[in-house]
Chains A and B, each alone.
Chain A
Amino acid sequence: MQGMLVHHAPMQDIALPAAVEDIVNPSQRLSAVHHLDIYRHSYIARLRSCMQSQFNALAYALGPELFELFADQYLDTYPSESYTLNTLGEKFAQFLQETRPDAGREQKENWPDFMIELAGFEYALSIIFDEHTDEQPAVILHDTPDEMLKLAPVFHLFHHQYPICGYYLGVIQSTAPELPFPEESYSAVTRHNYKLGLFTIRGAQYHFLKNMQRGDSVEAAKDNLVKAFEFKRAELDKIWPEWKKGFIDAGFFVFYEPS
């Protein structure tokens, strides 16, 4: 029965162990095939709509028909193996990469790259939303000494070739964003009081925060940023108060309490 449900392709394409009529009873109103069709129809419709809610912005970007086509093919290729639907879209970005329409062609199109990045970002958000951690209330003052700052327990950085975070926020805030042109972008995602915060940041900020993610203190992260990008230390120190205020307001930092 499962084989008859899971593959969205027409039934004659599947080697069935027996005819439906040999397995399923007809009823007063419906034939055996009609009975089975209720399950077949619901299977794909149900999982398609789960994909839709997991990939809200991607569905908007692709439009309903194209999204449905990709989602159906994905569900056929990677049917769920998990007890939870929260991981249904785990391989969707990978699937889009594997099946990109310009695969094998020398001239690559832009839009598949955008869709793949967007799919990966949306899935990452759903994982961050449910990430296990001890959330601490982060009331932190602007004049907290640098050595007392560490990154919030839920803090993730993203680097994209398209303005993915901005586009995603546009969809969520219903501003009907246009498909963007390629443009390198950086973003940070936090979670406070169990709600996500999404922030577009600059490249240098991304690298600074990345250093902190690797365990650097504020001072060391600055040093390493200066070294790696040949920045002038004096200039970095000049803009640092502005960065620090912005990062604290955005909830990137919590208190570092030496144990």
Chain B
Amino acid sequence: MSKIGDNYTNTLISLPNPGLGLGLRSKHFNHILEHNPAVDWFEVISENFMDSGGRPRHVLRQIAERYPVVMHGVSLSIGSTDRLNKDYLTKLKLLAGEVKPLWISDHLCWTGVNSLNTHDLLPVVLNDESLKHICTRINQVQDFLERPVVFENPSTYLTFKQSTINEWDFLRYMTEETGCGLLLDVNNVYVSGFNNDFDPAHYIRQLPHDRIVQMHIAGHQHCGTHIIDTHDRQVAHDVWKLFNLAWELTRGVATLLEWDGNIPEFDVYHAELLKAKEFMSSIDGFGITGEQEIANDDVVSNPVNFLVNEVNW
């Protein structure tokens, strides 16, 4: 790794742990501004604010004055073969200059090629070639933003024949090559593990724990033959257990509850987050129970409805 990469690593390992955070959603703007709830920090979806000259940006400015903020993106498309989008990166950097996030994160994925955007977090082929390609791009992004970037494991619904590297190793190599950090989405590990026949606990044990600066927890929908990452309900018990394992291995890092569909009242959302405290100390008998409630209706992965700004009256 280059000298600059070493610098990113040093920056990364000295990042603070702000505690338990919530995703900032427009539905809760007024509640937060009026009541100043005792949430440790907020995660904001960068794309929701970077182009806004209206209320979303105005609210974010106020929230950033009161709470630590982390910027989480969905459009970097680090795995794509298209050129990096300079316009996007410029706006991202501008927003970061304004809200001073603790860190900036995105996903190990691609969202489209040939200038198209599927607005999904698509899985990447995991092999030597893609690793080299992605690391080169991570270096470019980090040098442009002048800070380490944190990458999240997406929930995946397929694996490629061409893949030769396990995802947990791929993520480790990324951190070693570029000094980037990791956002461990515990629910995504559970979802991907079920869908692609791997043991989620093994996945979490294999990660470079000192590079994990944040965790995500979220609810999912079990569909019998597969699981969809819906972010629209409470966290499953098995995911809490995995969280407990990850908490011990990372010795506790910033943790955020994602809730993007059927978003409840703020207090319900916050109460679900605070359950994390029950899973921070050792629990006896680790084991996945496989309890599940199976859905028959159509469910959608990575809901993005909340990414369209709601016009307020």
Selected contact of A130 from candidates B56, B158, B307, B313, CB within 8 Å: B56
| Contacting residues, chain B, for A30 (C-beta < 8 A) | 195, 225-226
| Contacting residues, chain B, for A99 (C-beta < 8 A) | none
CB of A23 within 8 A of CB of B160, answer: yes
Shortest CB distance A189–B (Å): 11
Interface residues on B, range: 35 or more
| Contacting residues, chain A, for B51 (C-beta < 8 A) | 84, 86, 130
CB of A28 within 8 A of CB of B119, answer: no
Shortest CB distance A190–B (Å): 12
| Contacting residues, chain A, for B309 (C-beta < 8 A) | 86, 126, 129-130
Top-6 shortest CB links A-B: A132-B53, A194-B55, A35-B158, A83-B75, A38-B157, A29-B225
| Contacting residues, chain A, for B225 (C-beta < 8 A) | 29-30, 34
Known: A42-B120, A83-B47, A130-B54. A49 touches B160 (CB 8 A): no
Q: Does A176 contact B (CB under 8 A)?
A: no
Selecting from B16-24, B96-104, B274-282, B295-303, the interface stretch reads B295-303
Selected contact of B195 from candidates A27, A49, A88, CB within 8 Å: A27
What is the interface of chain A, defined by CB distance below 8 A to chain B? 1-2, 5-6, 22-25, 27-30, 32, 34-36, 38-39, 41-43, 45-47, 49-50, 53-54, 79-86, 88, 125-126, 129-133, 135, 172, 191, 194-196
For B303, give the chain A residue with the smallest CB separation. Answer: A46
CB of A195 within 8 A of CB of B312, answer: yes
Q: Does B292 contact A (CB under 8 A)?
A: no
| Contacting residues, chain A, for B308 (C-beta < 8 A) | 50, 53-54, 85-86, 88, 126
Known: A5-B118, A23-B161, A27-B195. A38 touches B311 (CB 8 A): no
* A-B Cβ contacts below 8 A, count: 152
Known: A30-B226, A79-B116, A194-B58. A129 touches B311 (CB 8 A): yes
Give the complex CA separation of A85 and B54 in angstroms.
Answer: 16
Known: A46-B302, A50-B305. A125 touches B311 (CB 8 A): yes
CB of B300 within 8 A of CB of A49, answer: yes
Selected contact of A38 from candidates B55, B197, B228, B304, CB within 8 Å: B228
Q: Does B115 contact A (CB under 8 A)?
A: yes
Which residues 100-156 in B have Cβ within 8 Å of A in the complex? 111-120, 122
For B298, give the chain A residue with the smallest CB separation. Answer: A45
Q: Does B88 contact A (CB under 8 A)?
A: yes
Selected contact of B54 from candidates A23, A82, A131, CB within 8 Å: A131
Give the complex CA separation of A95 and B228 in angstroms.
Answer: 32
Give the complex CA separation of A2 and B114 in angstroms.
Answer: 10
Which residues 40-55 in B have Cβ within 8 Å of A in the complex? 47, 50-55
Shortest CB distance B160–A (Å): 6
CB of B304 within 8 A of CB of A50, answer: yes
| A to B CB contacts below 8 Å, 11 in the list | A5-B118, A23-B160, A29-B226, A30-B226, A38-B157, A41-B298, A42-B120, A86-B51, A130-B309, A132-B53, A196-B313
